[in-house]
Amino acid sequence: MDNHEHSGKSFLEQTAEEEFNNEQIVSDEANDVPPYVAEYDEQIPLYILSPSSAVADISMFDTASARLTDYGFDVRRDPMADAKETRFAGTDEQRAAAFSRAASSGAEVVMASRGGYGLSRILHLIDWELLAKHPKRYVGYSDFTAFNLALLAKTGMSSYTGPAAIPDFGHTEVDELTAELFVESMRDELEILCFEAEGSDEVDVRGTLWGGNLAMICSLIGTPYMPKIDNGILFIEDVSEHPYRIERMLWQLWQAGVLANQQAIMLGHFTDYQLVVHDNGFNFNSVIQWLRSVVGIPVVTGLPYGHGEVRATLPIGEEVGLATQNDIAYLVLKEHAHGDDEHAHHQHDHHD
């Protein structure tokens, strides 16, 4: 993607001057964020469906609905959301039909109940033309990456990766920052996401934001559901995958020509793996070094997204700006309101 100049200043300089106070960013702590409290005149209609694994405890639907209602949503649940068919939330046909019901509903937001596994099995059954005729804001994460990317490939429509109903709103305690970022995104109030990006490469680019769960991205290579993104900004995360497996999947993206077409890659959470004696010093930092030396595109670390505690809501398929300065990354989601830093969200992320 091209680096544009605005009034003689680079994108980074303009962004830093007009939108941020770096001292404030550095001082912000995730656990300092106050509980999100807001009163809205109108609630946003939200539809919960289960496109992947079955929800083990269906009582969590009630908790999730109550929490989401507290955050300003008018919640409706798909009639098959609590279905179970072996490990799945109903048969393949039932889960695919849920997307048609969601598209035909009056909801503005459609949220997955959870991830797991199952979306890969139903991509060929989803009525993409119907979804294109009735645009919604689809949101989920993990296994939902398959739907996010397939929607972009089949219809050109953007969607969101972010929280899911049960893991994020179905428990007694809700991560307030995750919830706040989601609410602000659904109400078009989130313009900029700032986060600590220690050791990141210098970058100042604009491009199509896309990505999600790395294993799901790789599973779509060679299928009709893999979007072709040129000069994009790719972000990835994964869980329970050893660093050598992460590197192997990145090798696949590299050899398939995907990484060569990206301007930068952002690394989110890579959690719940164990190193062994045989690794002999090979770790996740080794993967980052390989990315820089072999792939040769800028690497930005610290994105608060994935299977960790904080999960930012990110638009897949939208044009964004990305810049780094002094170990802080600036992900500019909307650029139409310069001079007003009210909606610049500062995330001091301290997770590995």
Q: Which residues are catalytic?
A: 142, 237, 307
Q: Is 212 left (phi over 0), alpha (psi -120 to 50) or beta?
A: left
Rounded distance between C-alpha atoms, residue 48 and residue 81, angstroms: 7
Task: Give bridge partners of residue 55 from the DSSP assignment.
Answer: none
- What's phi and psi for 215, nearest 5 deg? -60, -40
CB 342 within 8 A of CB 336: no
Q: Which long-range contacts (CB under 8 A, 24 or more apart) does 82-88 make?
A: 82/50, 82/55, 82/58, 83/50, 83/54, 84/54, 85/54, 87/53, 87/54, 87/116, 87/117, 87/118, 88/52, 88/53, 88/54, 88/117, 88/118, 88/121
Q: Which long-range contacts (CB under 8 A, 24 or more apart) does 37-44 make?
A: 38/72, 38/183, 40/72, 40/187, 43/69, 43/72, 43/73, 43/74, 44/72, 44/73, 44/74, 44/108, 44/109, 44/186, 44/187
Q: Tell me the two tokens of residue 299.
A: 């690497």
Rounded distance between C-alpha atoms, residue 321 and residue 273, angstroms: 31
**Which distant-in-sequence residues (6+ apart) come within 8 Å of 41 by Cβ?**
none
Rounded distance between C-alpha atoms, residue 166 and residue 112, angstroms: 9
